[in-house]
Homo-oligomer: A and B are copies of this chain.
């Protein structure tokens, strides 16, 4: 009685044929008379028949639904990824079921459980900051259950991931600052546990090293939360002490970069004349603030598209899971704006 949901049976009754005939006619199976096909389709149309996806899922153990596990929706980068995921999924006839973990491991696990009980066909996951142990994923992978990790990739053999070239992005950003004549470059780094943070830090270190600049460990400070308030405090502390006062900031994310910029303004330090600043992610506001913020753009939408395409190809067995040996790494792009260009 749901929403005029006619079933195959209804059509069968109406025409006085069996439901298997109807089923076959609707799917253009060979060995069904054109006459029957025509009639069945006509009635189906008239009754506004829509196949019941749930029954199909049960029957086929396939739901044409993929589960997306994401730390936070209210995050520009992640929202662009979701957008890419949605696009591809919809185009290929898949539903997207979304769960945000708020960076909590418990929620990550429970979301995975409920999604599994919903017979989803595969996972797209960016795990939480709390996740350091990957057993819950490994178990699934061992069963051959398709998972594609994006942005944050685990240290697991046999796992497929789509990430951004954090190292390269950080390397270019730092090099850019060096070329602009900044020499005491501080790094506001992200949560140490995340590989993306580690890679960015490494890019920063290598850039300094390769340009003959010694790394000052006092210049590397973690901003775990990634808010501008947090970074403001951190930057302020660095600026206060003449011994640790840098002449540039390379931040692991844009919010932190803005926090540093505010701290500079507040301390009467001119950006970019006396202080260069570069962020990471290229949030929308980068071009809107004054001075506009140089930032490393991450192809979020592309990441969503690539990882979803990959996942669906695996699900549909267009490609073998094991054939994807190397992690997919997307290029970043340094967008140079005012905050890092000396007059």
Residues of B within 8 A of A50 (CB): 113, 116-117
Task: Let me know if A131 is at the binding interface, CB within 8 A.
Answer: no
- Give the nearest-CB partner of A287 in chain B: B228
Question: A100 to B284, alpha carbons, bound, how many Å?
Answer: 20
Residues of B within 8 A of A288 (CB): 228, 258, 262, 285, 288-289
Question: A207 to B76, alpha carbons, bound, how many Å?
Answer: 34
Is the beta-carbon distance between B82 and A73 smaller than 8 angstroms?
A: yes
Question: A80 to B78, alpha carbons, bound, how many Å?
Answer: 13
Binary flags per residue of A61-80, CB closer than 8 Å to B gives 1, else 0: 10101000000111110011
Chain A positions 226-260 with a Cβ under 8 Å from a chain B Cβ:
228, 258
Task: Let me know if A96 is at the binding interface, CB within 8 A.
Answer: yes
Task: Let me know if A145 is at the binding interface, CB within 8 A.
Answer: yes
Residues of B within 8 A of A183 (CB): none
Binary flags per residue of A38-74, CB closer than 8 Å to B gives 1, else 0: 0000000000001111110110010101000000111
Task: Let me know if A37 is at the binding interface, CB within 8 A.
Answer: no
Q: Considering residues A73, A80, A93, which has the most beta carbons from chain B within 10 angstroms of its beta carbon? A: A73
Is the beta-carbon distance between B99 and A143 smaller than 8 angstroms?
A: no
Residues of B within 8 A of A114 (CB): 53, 93, 95
Task: Let me know if A86 is at the binding interface, CB within 8 A.
Answer: yes
With A80-B74, A99-B90, A288-B285 known to touch, is A52 a contact of B119 (CB < 8 Å)? yes
Question: A57 to B82, alpha carbons, bound, how many Å?
Answer: 26
Q: Considering residues A4, A5, A79, A96, which has the most beta carbons from chain B within 10 angstroms of its beta carbon? A: A79
Residues of B within 8 A of A284 (CB): 283, 285
With A111-B90, A145-B3 known to touch, is A97 a contact of B99 (CB < 8 Å)? no
Is the beta-carbon distance between A2 and B61 smaller than 8 angstroms?
A: yes
Question: A95 to B52, alpha carbons, bound, how many Å?
Answer: 18
Pick from B4, B63, B72, B86: contact of A98, CB under 8 Å: B86
Binary flags per residue of A126-140, CB closer than 8 Å to B gives 1, else 0: 000000000000001
Is the beta-carbon distance between A98 and B96 smaller than 8 angstroms?
A: yes
Task: Let me know if A273 is at the binding interface, CB within 8 A.
Answer: no
With A52-B117, A119-B53, A289-B289 known to touch, is A73 a contact of B96 (CB < 8 Å)? no
Task: Let me know if A152 is at the binding interface, CB within 8 A.
Answer: no
Question: A90 to B140, alpha carbons, bound, how many Å?
Answer: 22
Question: A99 to B54, alpha carbons, bound, how many Å?
Answer: 18
Chain A positions 94-122 with a Cβ under 8 Å from a chain B Cβ:
95-100, 107, 111, 113-119
